[in-house]
Chain A
Amino acid sequence: MNFLPNTDKDREEMLKVIGVSSVEELFGDIPPELRFKGDLKLPPALSEFELARHMEELAAKNTAQDYVSFIGAGAYDHYIPAVVGHVLGRSEFYTAYTPYQPEISQAVLQSIYEYQTMICELTGMDAANASMYDGASAAAESVTIAAGLTRRKRALVSKTVHPETRAVISTYADARDIVVEEIDYTQGVTDVESLAAKLGDDVACVVIQQPNFFGALEPVDEISAKVKQSGAAFIVSVNPMTLGLLRPPAEYGADIVVGEGQVFGSPMAFGGPYLGILAVTHKLLRRMPGRLVGMTTDDQGNRGFVLTLQTREQHIRRERATSNICSNQALNALAAVVYLSWAGKQGLREIGEQCVQKAAYLAGKISEIDGFSLAWEAPFFNEFAIKCPVDAEQVLEALLEQNILAGYPLGRAYPELKQYLLIAVTEKRTKQEMDALVAGLEGLA
């Protein structure tokens, strides 16, 4: 199957207009020894039906789709309403490029403006960009922003920040010779004393996550006060789904807010594509990487939207740009706009409340099982860690037999936490499913 409209007759006519006798002549400037001879070793072409069947077979091999999942750890199984797929399926959106010609790109531009507004509302920040690749790369770029702002070369990152976010921060920081140091945790949250001991006038930024990777709420006011004293930038990575209920990071002094926006209408999809949220205070606006949409008017005074402050960007500024980022995750940002319009002011709060209620119920039930306990006392939102009587990997393994994915074994990223399992619930998890998990764990006690 191919998607070529031209017939051999068309091709002949076109060659005649060009004035050559064969397509080969058009490749005449490639040195003969660099011409690829023979056939690429790839499987032969498939018809549409054969391809559909093959893709269905591959998809069917992902048997995880049939399990009840309590895995969170940065990607969450929230319900995605039908309207999201419906709007994203409009090919006016998905077959468009970056909106370089605003007069015929108002859909993409206006939806990004709406997205920017919603992210500002949720985070309390002054400005949000059109999105980054994902939460982790947004965090990594925010460290670069902070280093540029403060002209300092040390970044402090709490160990309670998602391990993959920390890994990506390290990759980016290493390239810029920024030294990353980790802050210890105590009782499941950032150790404020350890932070205070590491802070100094050479620290560019402090990165924390709220709720943190263990699901626990960080003592953000205490942390913020220390960070502010040092003159470092305060970077907060959030699960934006919590912000229907929890206070916006601007209230506790965040200079940069980043987050993984997958929770707003993007499927878990084996890790991507997701949505990198990035929002800043007014002071940092011009240091922000990525696309930004602004409102303006046309020659007759009609309202319209355009890409703005493009002089920050690589296609204008080249090696002096704020970042190399060119694309964004526009379609995932659109998913977020549609999701948040669907949930609305009341719904986002109610979804958050259901998550909190269900997590509290499940945590309560598990802590009643002999040998199992809550790992820490810190309050949590929709995710919490438990201590198991055995290695958490064994717990995960045992529950697979009941078609339950029990959680994320923390020992994978924290060798000292081998008996700890991280459990997430969403509004989708039913009492029956949670009771089945509890029963499964009871069987191991």
Chain B
Amino acid sequence: MRRPEPLIFEISKPGRKAYSLPALDVPAKSIDELLPQGELRKQPAELPEVSEVDLVRHFTRLSQLNHGVDIGFYPLGSCTMKYNPKINEYAANLPGFNRIHPYVPEDLAQGALQLMYELQYYLAEIAGMDHVSLQPAAGAHGELAGILIIRAYHRSRNDLKRTKILIPDSAHGTNPASAALAGYTVVELPTDERGGVDVEALEAAMDETVAGLMLTNPNTLGLFDENIQRIEKIVHDRGGLLYYDGANANAILGISRPGDMGFDVLHFNLHKTFGTPHGGGGPGSGPVAVKDFLEPFLPVPTVVYEDGKYRLNYDRPHTIGQMKSFYGNFLVMVKAYAYIRSLGPDGLRQASRDAVLNANYLLSRVRDYYDVPYDRYCKHEFVVAPLKIKKETGVRTLDISKRLLDYGVHPPTNYFPLIVDEALMIEPTETESKETLDYFADALIAIAKEAYEDPDKVKSAPHTTVVGRLDEAGAARNLNIRWRKPE
């Protein structure tokens, strides 16, 4: 079983090649004539020399060492690992979307611009917001854009004393990191016993030095904050703005809209809620949406429709600027657009209903075997913890996760949110069948029993993967982050 794939460099042999090029069809000159000698590379870069079949086998064999949604269950909390429809991949591979340079005249890219324009509208409608910019490349990038919009708003009113952002202690690490990157001081809010924002702490913290509150709702515990209306009033009454982290909005499509909850700015992750694949870590897409009064600050460009034509609008004097080159991760937008068109309004709502049903079903199946820190109906995800198991057997969340690998499923998110000791954060998504959920619940229950009957088996897991438990501390201590040709 354990047969690691060599590095592509290790199968390289001088003289082998996979590439071919047409013969040069212009009169050749000496390179020395065309480029200054001093600018030329003296040593060739040590790239591999392989045949095409070597190349294909290397990456095919390598691919077989990975888990993915297409292989099995992937209940990684807060990541929304739903099935990625294949028709969306087909659409994103169409030459008409791939062969267009970003600087072609707008008349020659009307299909792309129309798609972006309509996607802006769809996302605004789903969010209950007024305007959207598709520029941000990922969720954290959208957060940064959103916080910069909040900053620009306060500055436009010459309200310069607001230097803090409030963030619940259950929030993702990207929230405080984005606020800090935008120049804000982060003030952490505690969580109350129902899993929501501690409203009294919010009352105390919310003053004229606070620019806004970043909130995820349902939050990372998978719980809808029942006090959202009070929270909204406290923040707005004291001049702050409300930021909605919509990275994972899989519970609310057509059910409840952040704009209606009173949020002023939000971002979505198209690669979570809207079915585009995660690509092993990216590319994603993190559009940002705002209410009317924040529209002047949106990143440029946005797509507008005027006189029967779609075009890019850079004419926005109060914009926070540009977040990246060009217009965003366009091919990811193509897939999200196709996803929304596939499901339509009823399908989106049904997706959220099934996501919530699946999560609650799984919670019901495992609740007698694991501790449930906040005992309520959840939304699209939930958090449990093996506290009793750990106390009585020494088996931890990490061990349980590694043992799940032997059952052929991806483990839940570990040790997050930080406020739950030994957290296992589970998000099944709507695209999993009852049979899959039962298989996973049975595995979790079996491992809970194994922890008592054969704890070493759990603590030494995984036993069936291509590599065993890897030495992460050693990797950081003896850093090896690139291959070098043996002397």
Cβ contact within 8 Å between B481 and A23: no
| A316 adjacent to chain B (CB < 8 Å) | yes
Contact residues, A290-320 vs B (CB, 8 A):
291-300, 302-306, 308-309, 313-320
Contacts of A58 in B (CB 8 A): 96, 111-112, 114-115
Known: A319-B177, A344-B48, A379-B35. A360 touches B29 (CB 8 A): yes
Cβ contact within 8 Å between A347 and B17: yes
Partner of B469, one of A299, A340, A430: A299
Q: CA of A396 to CA of B224 in the docked complex: distance in angstroms?
A: 55
Cβ contact within 8 Å between A83 and B55: yes
Q: CA of A267 to CA of B332 in the docked complex: distance in angstroms?
A: 13
B330 CB to nearest chain A CB (Å): 4
Partner of A324, one of B99, B140, B278: B140
Other A-B pairs, 16, CB within 8 Å; known A92-B64, A314-B177, A345-B46: A2-B351, A5-B433, A23-B357, A58-B111, A97-B81, A100-B414, A103-B405, A133-B282, A167-B321, A246-B39, A273-B331, A296-B471, A298-B468, A325-B138, A348-B47, A350-B19
Cβ contact within 8 Å between A341 and B50: yes
Q: CA of A314 to CA of B172 in the docked complex: distance in angstroms?
A: 9
Q: CA of A233 to CA of B64 in the docked complex: distance in angstroms?
A: 42
Q: CA of A127 to CA of B7 in the docked complex: distance in angstroms?
A: 18
| A187 adjacent to chain B (CB < 8 Å) | no
Cβ contact within 8 Å between A330 and B482: no
Q: CA of A260 to CA of B432 in the docked complex: distance in angstroms?
A: 38
Known: A113-B482, A272-B328, A318-B177. A299 touches B66 (CB 8 A): no
Q: Please give me the 10 A-B residue pairs with the lowest Cβ-Cβ distance, nearest first.
A: A59-B96, A271-B326, A61-B111, A45-B344, A273-B283, A271-B102, A331-B279, A330-B281, A107-B66, A324-B177
B81 CB to nearest chain A CB (Å): 6
B185 CB to nearest chain A CB (Å): 8
Cβ contact within 8 Å between B139 and A326: yes
Q: CA of A136 to CA of B177 in the docked complex: distance in angstroms?
A: 20
Cβ contact within 8 Å between A96 and B280: yes
Interface size class of A (residues with CB under 8 A): 35 or more
Q: Could you mark each residue 65-77 of chain A with 1 if its beta carbon is under 8 Å from any beta carbon of chain B, else 0?
A: 1010101011101
Contacts of A246 in B (CB 8 A): 35, 39-41
Q: Would you list 29 pairs from A and B whose C-beta atoms are within 8 A, ordered by A residue?
A: A4-B430, A6-B357, A30-B256, A44-B346, A51-B87, A51-B342, A52-B87, A56-B96, A69-B104, A71-B103, A94-B84, A117-B482, A127-B481, A136-B324, A137-B137, A164-B322, A175-B181, A268-B101, A270-B102, A272-B327, A308-B472, A308-B481, A314-B176, A314-B177, A327-B281, A331-B283, A337-B8, A347-B18, A356-B34
Nearest neighbor of B45 in chain A, beta-carbon distance = A121
Contacts of A100 in B (CB 8 A): 76, 413-414
Contact residues, B446-478 vs A (CB, 8 A):
460, 462, 465-472, 474-476, 478
Q: Could you mark each residue 339-355 of chain A with 1 if its beta carbon is under 8 Å from any beta carbon of chain B, else 0?
A: 01111111111110110
Q: Which among B35, B280, B328, B377 has the greatest number of chain A C-beta atoms within 10 A?
A: B280
